[in-house]
Amino acid sequence: MPEFDDLSPEDQEQARQMAAQMAEAQERIAGTPANVVVANHIMGMYELAAIHLSQQTPNLQEAKLAIDAMALLVENLSGRLGENEPTLREALSQLRLVFVELSGDAPAAE
């Protein structure tokens, strides 16, 4: 791995800019309440489950993992997810309903 001094002046400037952008991103995250960041990650699990459930042939095994991970967070962090908690609980309920409906129509890939 080359040292910073071994880089061309253009590459050094690019490295400085990248470091500044990373510092700004870290500062933004540090200034955001943890419950907001956690809620964003939980919604990522929701989206992952929804993608697997919406396939032509639903991938129930993958959807179940995402739903279970989402449930672990939502249920075990009860009362700590702030104003997003009711939305997260509703989203989890919707996923579970869709999963149950689809598992009756298609066999789960175990």
Q: Report pLDDT digits (tens) over 61-70.
A: 999 999 999 9
pLDDT band at 110 (very low <50, low <70, confident <90, very high): very low
Does the pLDDT of residue 109 top 70, yes or no? Answer: no
pTM of the predicted model, to two decimals?
Answer: 0.77
- The DSSP secondary structure of the chain, one letter per residue, reads ---GGGS-HHHHHHHHHHHHHHHHHHHHHHTS-HHHHHHHHHHHHHHHHHHHHTSSS--HHHHHHHHHHHHHHHHHTTT-SGGGHHHHHHHHHHHHHHHHHHHHHS----
